[in-house]
Chain A
Amino acid sequence: MKRFRILAMAMGVVMALTACGGKQGKDESDSQSKKSGDKDQITITYESWTPTKEYMDRILTAFHKEHPEINVEVTLHANASEYMTAVQTAFASGEGPDVFMFADPTALNQLKSQIEPLDQYCTDEWGESWADDFVASAIGDNSIDGVPYGLPMPTAPAGTMWYNKTLLDSLDLEAPTNYEELKKVSDTLREAGKQPLLIGAKDSWVVIDTFQTILNDFAGDKQYKAYNKEIPFTDSEFVDAFEMWQKLFKEKIFQDSAFSMTEYMDTYNQFNDEGIAGMWVNGAWNMDMYTNPEIEDSVAKNEWGISYFPDLNGDGKQPNLLLTSGGFAINKNSKEKEAAWELIKFMACDEGAVIECQRTMAPSGYLNTPQPSYDLPENGLKNLDTVNKLMADQPLQFRGINDPNVSEKMYEVLTKLAYEKITPEDAAEEIDAVINE
């Protein structure tokens, strides 16, 4: 009997604690609805891998001035793949942030079931012809079957090659524009004890970016037809492109042990910070090295250049750049969709976009975004002009492979080719088989 009395008391304590917990929860919820002037306080969550914390704070400060009633709780991840793992897990458990991002159309397709369609929001905000105010390719990348699911984020192109002009000048070299020049520059850099063309091949995305650029050089836009099963992937131009990829490793144009190095931070540090490499495969988004306070001194020591990837098939034409936009999206289960819309609009089109453009030095997908001012050194401004010129001079091609199985197989065969474990013909056949699976 005594035992039951103790038990009853314990139950009482538990119930009291539970009641306290419930009360506390309500208080918290109430505190989110405190009055601020005439408007209720609203809290929404934002989760992404970008921008950096420093720039996110700047964006939110500006946002809060415009929308003092909206508080934003931010979760930033180290990179896009870590972020995707986190949001995928959150959505699977029925949770997820109010506002989040997708890196490209592939990620958009994966997350589509969780995203609020934005057609009505856009029409209400900008009228029926709202799409005219956006870069067509950017809004296309943010849409599925013509319905927008995101507002495009400022995006810079891939398929460019960076070079350390100071280092090349010291060796009496110039930025290579074709295979022969590339080979000569790489050999001279190696002889001088420097790194030749850096690639962080441990990261599949940069391997695929680089190979897609080579494919566009050798086969025009045929790769996209092949992914759509319109033509086989075994055509000779594809095999030639695979052969060239293998040659870049055989002829030691890429650095040794490329597959043990990541793009961020292994090769990033060697190129931008240590200045020990002549060339680096990376997108134009590396313009943000000029705004990275951690490597400010190292960046200032050298003069840098950016160009198209060299013309490797020798037809005298540089390969096109790759550009695919990701975007800002609203969780379709969000309870604060209006506030979420205000945030994504601010980040994609208004002052938030200006701040993000200043960081990435990439153009906004919204054509009416005010032109940002850049506080850059002379070399930075010159390279910014070069990027704009590169983008204007040649058409931009689709970046990425939508089918993750094809994308993964592509990385696998490109690795095997680099290690000379398969022939270019085998590589083409393996990709063709996965496309047609």
Chain B
Amino acid sequence: MKKKKSLSAYFYILPMFLFFAFFLVYPLFNTIRISFFEWNGIDPEMHFVGFQDYIDMFHDEIFYKAFANFAIYAVLVIVLEMLIGFSLAYLMRRKNIMFNIYRAIIFIPVILLPVVISYVFTDILAYNYGIVNETLRALHLDKLALDWFADPNVALYTLIGITVWSGTGFAMTVYSSSLTSFPSELIDAAKVDGANRIQTVTRVVWPLLKGTHFSLSIISAISALKIFDLVFLLTGGGPFHATEMPSTYMYDKAFTLYEQGFASAVSTIIIIFALLVTFIQTKLSAEKR
């Protein structure tokens, strides 16, 4: 009877398992398989080259540049989104109609499509006729009127700014929901113990939201690793790879240079990297608990 029960359990998970196998496991292993071939992505013939694509990739300086850019991008985006999101959520934690309206407005960028965001910011930040530079010039702050997308020293930070603008609403919403269930007695107790507002936030509220920090940091890190659309639309990874990300690097290899095997090798490294980031964060979180 017990054996029958366990068999039927397997049967019930079969549809989900098949879905998982076809749409996740198979493509994953197929990508890894292709990374051992030289293939232009179109021809039926593929030439086995072993680890050559990986060797070439590890000898390509743009590969390192892409991951260095990703590191800067990910760290700044995660930290800024969490800090700003938490600050906004905390400031607007009380029930108030205006706070609800503000929260809704701040959340709007989260639901905008990247193509809309890129269109809006291409206009706003245009060097010659963009509203930002025009305003700065009108205020005689010409030196601050930067070439936001075409200056290699600035472009990456422009992308970070836009990503933070579009993603902070999500972090704020997650913190808001965590703060809703936050025990107010703890804040009262801190006040009784003589803690000022800053101490209450930094030593009581912030540390007690570590579960939320952990979830947000994982989601943001994986999102950062997958970032493609905004970079592709706003800078295309340029100028001369100043905003190149692992995803745009992979796209370039696959669809501009027709090196599908190489692109699959990059893809494999991205997958391994994503698993590693998740593993480390999970480990750290478990240790803290």
Interface residues of A (CB under 8 A from B): 3, 7, 81, 84-85, 88-89, 91-92, 110-111, 113-114, 195, 202, 255-260, 266, 404-405, 408, 412, 415-416, 419, 421
Contact = CB atoms under 8 A, between A and B. Distances in A.
A260 B42 contact: no
B126 A84 contact: no
Interface in B51-78: none
B147 A202 contact: no
Contacts of A412: 240-241
Given A7-B11, A259-B238, A405-B257, 19 more contacts: A3-B8, A81-B256, A85-B255, A88-B42, A88-B255, A89-B41, A110-B258, A255-B128, A257-B126, A257-B147, A257-B149, A259-B239, A260-B150, A266-B122, A408-B256, A415-B239, A416-B240, A419-B152, A419-B239
29 contacts: A3-B8, A84-B255, A85-B255, A88-B41, A88-B42, A88-B255, A92-B41, A92-B260, A110-B40, A111-B42, A113-B43, A113-B45, A195-B128, A202-B150, A256-B128, A257-B147, A258-B150, A259-B150, A259-B239, A260-B148, A260-B235, A408-B256, A408-B257, A415-B238, A415-B240, A416-B240, A419-B152, A419-B239, A421-B240
Contacts of B45: 113
Interface residues of B, number: 29
B236 interface: yes
B157 interface: no
Contacts of A415: 238-240
Interface of B: 8, 11, 40-45, 122, 126-128, 147-150, 152, 235-236, 238-241, 252, 255-258, 260
Q: Which of B42, B239, B255 has the most CB of A within 10 A?
A: B42
Contact of A202 (B238, B241, B256): B238
B90 to A, nearest CB: 37
Given A195-B128, A404-B257, A412-B240, A256 B41 contact: no
B44 A113 contact: yes
Contacts of A258: 150
A259 B43 CA distance: 34
A111 B258 CA distance: 11
A419 B40 CA distance: 32
Given A113-B43, A404-B257, A260 B236 contact: no
Nearest to B4: A3
Contact of A114 (B42, B126, B235): B42
Nearest to A258: B150
A110 B42 contact: yes
A260 B256 contact: no
A324 to B, nearest CB: 18
Contacts of A419: 152, 239-240
B239 to A, nearest CB: 5
Contact of B147 (A91, A114, A256, A266): A256
B42 to A, nearest CB: 5
A260 B126 contact: yes
Contacts of A7: 11
A327 B126 CA distance: 36
Contact of B127 (A85, A88, A91, A260): A260
Given A91-B42, A260-B149, A202 B236 contact: yes
Contacts of A111: 42
Nearest to B158: A260
B120 to A, nearest CB: 15
A161 B45 CA distance: 43
Q: Which of A7, A257, A258, A415 has the most CB of B within 10 A?
A: A257
Nearest to A422: B240
A88 B41 CA distance: 7
B240 A257 contact: no
B258 A404 contact: yes
Q: What are the 4 closest A-B residue pairs judged by CB atoms, nearest first?
A: A257-B127, A260-B150, A260-B149, A259-B150
Contacts of B252: 408
Nearest to B40: A110
A3 B255 CA distance: 51
B36 to A, nearest CB: 17
A372 B256 CA distance: 36
A405 B41 CA distance: 16
Contacts of B148: 260
Contacts of B122: 266
B195 to A, nearest CB: 49
Contacts of B235: 260
B166 to A, nearest CB: 19
Contact of B128 (A257, A404, A405): A257
A14 B242 CA distance: 54
Contacts of A3: 8
A257 B238 CA distance: 13
B169 to A, nearest CB: 27
Contacts of B260: 92
A109 to B, nearest CB: 9
